[in-house]
Amino acid sequence: MGKLKPNKKGKYLIGVDMGGTNLRAGLVDLEGKVLGEAHRPSHAEEGMKKSVEMTIEAAREVIESRSIKKEEICGIGLAVPGNHKSGEGICLYSPNFAPPFPVPVLEPIEKALGLAAYMLNDVNTAALGEHRFGAGRGYDNMVMITLGTGIGGGAVVDGQLRVGPTEGFAEVGHMIIDPEGPQCGCGNHGCWEALAGKDAIIERAVFELQQGESSLLMELAKGDINAITPSLIAQAAEQEDELAQAVLDETAYWVGIGCVNLITLYNPQVLVIGGGIAGALPLMEPTLQQVVNARARMVPASTCKIVPSALGDDAGIIGGAVLVIRELQ
């Protein structure tokens, strides 16, 4: 948190999703409804400091475009990718942003906007949004994962999002599920995200295509094997392409193994799946649920519903708003 106190008399919140490419500031009401948005490029290549400036611009725009008075706003909450000392308002490191690090995030925002500012890791913030206003609503124990380039996680235990002493709680993408498995970006081998993240999915498809398997995929990728994406794979699978479905099934197997572990370790009532690849979830769901049913034994599969994110792309903005809302009580 920053140094300012939240305005408990306000009725609006600003939630900001600071992505690596674009950032979105949203005006959110106390019921978690997004009333308006302003977008900016993140300029991550110019460093986090520049993104903080973009955040200030976007926040100002969304406030002014709706003719909201500062007195009506409780505060601003940011979903920021990377590792932080959120309590001190500092980003320690964020892989998609250019150095230098660390970068003070909240101080310049509070100074420019005169609003109490809060921040948290992007996935934790999304989990907070899903817990308060989305698919995790009403459950005291929830795990959210985001399937994308990496696999992120956030966990609510006994009603509270837990972040851990070094803000490393639920770094689910880096649990080892195959110790001799492929190398992960983190340097370890066999991390969940090395087996079920975006690159793993693409590599699986490319490998099969290189074996000479025929598939709609090459057509969808306009003949360019380097243009294959999870979303093209999902498109092909929707058109009953066998290779694409096999790739999704194998991915679903690995997603399922990780989900078994999360159920066994956090005993959640609900496991929410979001992120860029979550769109392919209906195509992966049968295999995923089969793996979970078969292998979640000590803490049975029946104790935990697996559901898609309810907030989708807005989870970061709404979660940012919740960062402020939870300070109002």
| Binding test (CB under 8 A) with its own copies, winner from 43, 295, 305, 326 | 295
Mark 127-146 with x for binding to its own copies (rule: CB under 8 A) and - for no binding. -------------xx-----
**In the complex with its own copies, which residue's Cβ is closer, 61 or 93?**
93
C-alpha to C-alpha distance for 255 and 216, rounded to whole angstroms: 24
C-alpha to C-alpha distance for 103 and 93, rounded to whole angstroms: 8
Pairing state of beta strands 270-274 and 83-85?
A: unpaired
Site size for its own copies (CB under 8 A): 42
Rule CB under 8 A: say whether 257 interacts with its own copies: yes
Question: Residue 83: phi, psi to the nearest 5?
Answer: -105, 135
| Binding test (CB under 8 A) with its own copies, winner from 34, 93, 107, 188 | 188
- Per-residue b or e along 257-280, where b marks 16 or more CB atoms closer than 10 Å to that residue's CB: bbbbbbbeebebbbbbbbbebbeb
Mark 212-251 with x for binding to its own copies (rule: CB under 8 A) and - for no binding. ----------------------------------------
Question: Residue 235: phi, psi to the nearest 5?
Answer: -60, -45
| Binding test (CB under 8 A) with its own copies, winner from 171, 208, 241, 314 | 171
| Binding test (CB under 8 A) with its own copies, winner from 4, 49, 169, 328 | 169
- C-alpha distances in Å from residue 30, one per residue of 46, 65, 129, 158, 214: 34, 19, 12, 23, 52
Sequence-distant (≥ 6) Cβ neighbours of residue 326 within 8 angstroms? 128, 132
Cβ atoms < 10 Å from Cβ of 65: 12
| Binding test (CB under 8 A) with its own copies, winner from 46, 178, 199, 203 | 178
| Binding test (CB under 8 A) with its own copies, winner from 214, 267, 282, 286 | 267
Both tokens of 149, joined, read 């380039």
Cβ atoms < 10 Å from Cβ of 19: 20
**In the complex with its own copies, which residue's Cβ is closer, 80 or 236?**
80
**In the complex with its own copies, which residue's Cβ is closer, 172 or 248?**
172
**Number of residues assigned to the chain:** 329
Rule CB under 8 A: say whether 208 interacts with its own copies: no
**In the complex with its own copies, which residue's Cβ is closer, 263 or 280?**
263
Query: Whole-number minimum distance, CB 113 to its own copies, in Å?
Result: 30
Rule CB under 8 A: say whether 269 interacts with its own copies: yes
| Binding test (CB under 8 A) with its own copies, winner from 77, 108, 173, 275 | 173
The residue ranges that bind its own copies (CB under 8 A) are 140-141, 157-158, 160, 162-179, 186-189, 257, 260-261, 264-269, 294-295, 297-299, 303
